[in-house]
Amino acid sequence: MLVFESADARRDQAEFLSEGLQTYAPFDFERQAKLPLGESVTVGFSLAFVTEPGAPEVVFFTCQQHAPQYFWKADYQEHANGARSIEEVVMVAPEPRALEGLFVGLQGRERVAAHADSLTIQTARGRVSVLSPSGYEARFPGGTPEDAPETPYFAAYAIGVEDIRRCEALLSGNGVAFSREGRSLHVPPSAAFGTAVAFREI
């Protein structure tokens, strides 16, 4: 699943429906969360889902947070690897251009760029790249799982970090397999639950 930020899940669902996408009634839920000092607060979410018949391995949804003040705090967003952003999510598809209409419906025509054998979709928080199997192998050598499906699937994602050397030291210290290419580190699917992970200095 890939989630997009939302200000209004019900509006999203209505727009998805108007675009002819396969969508569903919004899903609302809430739960109790405990803050660092022990205070209990209610957090809630509304989700709007989209699926694609030709891509049964993937699901997209938008998430509207009803109490974002309890999540978007700088002291909750620190990690030893220096992560600062999600730079890219990578999908593999036999025919990337076949998903163009789906992403136009999800993000808008102006955010989707079609190339000879790939798609690039700009989002509010990074981009989505849809690559052919050969295009993916060119960017992530040896990164295709043996049991990869024949239909479109999520294959990799890239995290922006503030100091690639700091991230490299952490991976090495924790025994995580990776290769280095310039200012990027690549963790293979075999070391990351079947999905390749790239760390890029930003």
Q: What is the CATH number of the domain that holds 114?
A: 3.10.180.10
- Cα separation of 85 and 63, whole Å? 18
Q: Whole-angstrom distance between the N-terminal and C-terminal Cα of the chain?
A: 25
Of 18, 52, 75, the one marking the end of a domain is 75
Same domain, 196 and 132: yes
Q: What DSSP string runs through 21-32?
A: -EE---EEEEEE
Helices (H), the chain: 9-18, 100-107, 133-139, 164-173
Same domain, 179 and 194: yes
Q: Are 34 and 28 in contact (CB under 8 A)?
A: no
Same domain, 98 and 189: yes
Residue 129: predicted pLDDT:
98
Same domain, 192 and 107: yes
| One-letter amino acid for residue 77 of the chain | Q
Per-residue pLDDT tens digits of the chain, which is 202 residues long = 999 999 999 999 999 999 999 999 999 999 999 988 999 999 999 999 999 999 999 999 999 999 999 977 788 889 999 999 999 999 999 999 999 999 999 999 999 999 999 999 999 999 999 999 999 999 987 777 778 899 999 999 999 999 999 999 999 999 999 999 888 999 999 999 989 999 999 9
Same domain, 192 and 100: yes
Residue 104: predicted pLDDT:
98
Residue 101: predicted pLDDT:
97
Same domain, 42 and 90: no
Q: Domain total for the chain? A: 2
Same domain, 32 and 6: yes
Same domain, 91 and 53: no
- Cα separation of 179 and 48, whole Å? 37
Other Cβ atoms less than 10 A from the Cβ of 41: the count is 12
Look at the block and give the residue holding tokens 């251009």.
97
Tell me whether residue 29 is exposed, middle or buried, using C-beta atoms within 10 angstroms of its C-beta: 0 to 12, 13 to 18, 19 or more. Answer: exposed
Closest alpha carbon to 156 in 139, 175, 181: 139
- Cα separation of 98 and 195, whole Å? 23
Residue 137: predicted pLDDT:
92
Tokens at 53, concatenated: 């018949």
Residues of the domain holding 11 = 2-75
